[in-house]
Structure 1
């Protein structure tokens, strides 16, 4: 957490809250959050006087577009942004503060301290870490069935770890992979090379449908996620398998099972997502 729908929701919220604001100065209280440049003093100096023009997204990363720079921010497990008045008390675990010239502040809070920030000249962020190896965007026009199959179909790896691998398809995490595989009727331990043509079509549609529904609902607040306005997402109320161990499947009534696939807790309906005893036709 957060995954694509949550980051997309934060992006949309931040546009409303900070687009057009001019940064007067930046305070960094946890230097390791700042990955590029290596010195937080240089990071703060570069941002002073810059105006936030818009906020974009690449996978699970935010791209904050400024006058002459791009700030790439990864929220990781617990990172969150919020806008406050300068006279409001600073909450515990607030590590970076962007002070605006209108008397407000964008504050970055991160209890787990895993989040990162990288500063780039425009365009450089796409050819350098952490964005350079990212795969296709599942809600972008470039995400076609052919592109999806080209990335994954010949792999002999289990489908769930493949979908979680950000070098192939970006933005999918544990929640939405479990949900998409359920919608497609595909067992998470199937290897990609055993999935046939109709199954790829179902999975492709399931990925898009699941993510779009989650975006429309403002994401899923499973643990601590809130958007930039402190609001929870609502998609957790529509989850079909994730987090529903021992609850009846909405489709067939069988109890949802929980197992481990690729080191990740995995929710599955064994009736709706059977694991074939005999491997079927490859990639028809």
Structure 2
């Protein structure tokens, strides 16, 4: 599933081709996504200018003067820009024709993504209760410490809660906890302020590095499959169970938490 760095990489890839362009056509080939594509979406977008492409958590927004399209890539979705009139593929469900002659196509084999419309996206039920962006000044160790008081939740589950902070998916939670030296099963309410400061910085560092790596490994969004090289960056622990810890050389352990792979160092993480 695309996580925050991949969604941000997608935003950076499509924004230069979409911003400032007028929508000259909308085609919905299959509107049966996670939630039905609004039947009036073509009428809402036709002849409107895309003012900006923004990201919030794992959602992308195409902002117009009258409202915003809310796009989620789901588990298998991708966006790409077409310039050569290449035919649509089997799972190309939605496409926007733009005044620069380019086409923005949404491909989603599993159809868990979405294309929705909102006149005020910040008030939309999917958006309004989200926690702060992890790379924003609003996110820091003091916030994590305050929200964690009295919590018996394992720290890994705590930082993956979108009401606490958005966009810390499974892979990046593993990596950040390793960098901060915190065991993934430690109770959130039992972690000190100093350790939360380290964890917040580790989350910022991990996500920032992943976004930069996504930019260097990104395939061209024009006339391509539109998929970044997911997780091509060097991961310290995730997917490395049984290998040596980069710091102490102990064997990395793997457990299941909420049906997700969790890898950690039994020596370095406490």
Q: Is the contact between residue 160 and residue 169 of structure 2 (CA under 8 Å) also seen in structure 1?
A: yes
User: What's 2:59 paired with?
Assistant: 61
The Cα of 1:226 is off from its aligned counterpart by: 6.2
The SS at the match of 1:211 is: helix
Q: Which residue of structure 2 lines up, in the alignment, with residue 280 of structure 1?
A: none
Match of 2:133 in 1: 137
CA distance in 2, matches of 1:206, 1:39: 38
Q: Which 4+ stretches in 1 moved above 4 angstroms?
A: none
Q: Distance in 2 between matches of 1:152 and 1:2?
A: 27
How do 1:100-249 residues align onto structure 2 when only pairs under 5 Å count? Answer: 100-121=98-119, 124-218=120-214, 228-229=221-222, 230=226, 232-233=228-229, 235-249=231-245
Which moved further from structure 2: 211-220 or 100-109?
A: 211-220
User: Residues 67-102 of structure 1, C-alpha deviation per residue, up to 9 Å, x if partnerless?
Assistant: 322111111211100011362121221000111233
Between the two proteins, the alignment pairs up a number of residues equal to: 267
- 8 Å CA contact 2:37–2:114 kept in 1: the answer is no
Matched residue SS, 2:144: helix
Shift of residue 231, structure 1, vs aligned partner:
5.9
Q: Give per-residue Cα distances to partners, 1:30-79, cap 9 Å, x unaligned.
A: 212384xx664301111111111111111111111123221111112111
Could you tell me which runs of 5 or more consecutive residues in structure 1 were left unpaired when the two chains were aligned: 275-284
**Unaligned residue ranges in structure 2 (runs of 5+):** none
Instruction: Report the alpha carbon displacement of residue 235 of structure 1 after superposing the two structures with TM.
Output: 4.8
Whole-angstrom distance in 1 between the partners of 2:202 and 2:24: 45
Measured after TM superposition, the shift of residue 6 of structure 1 is 0.9
Q: Distance in 2 between matches of 1:227 and 1:150?
A: 42
Aligned-partner SS, 2:214: coil
TM-score (norm 2): 0.91
1:93 paired to 2:91: yes
TM-score, normalising length from structure 1? 0.87
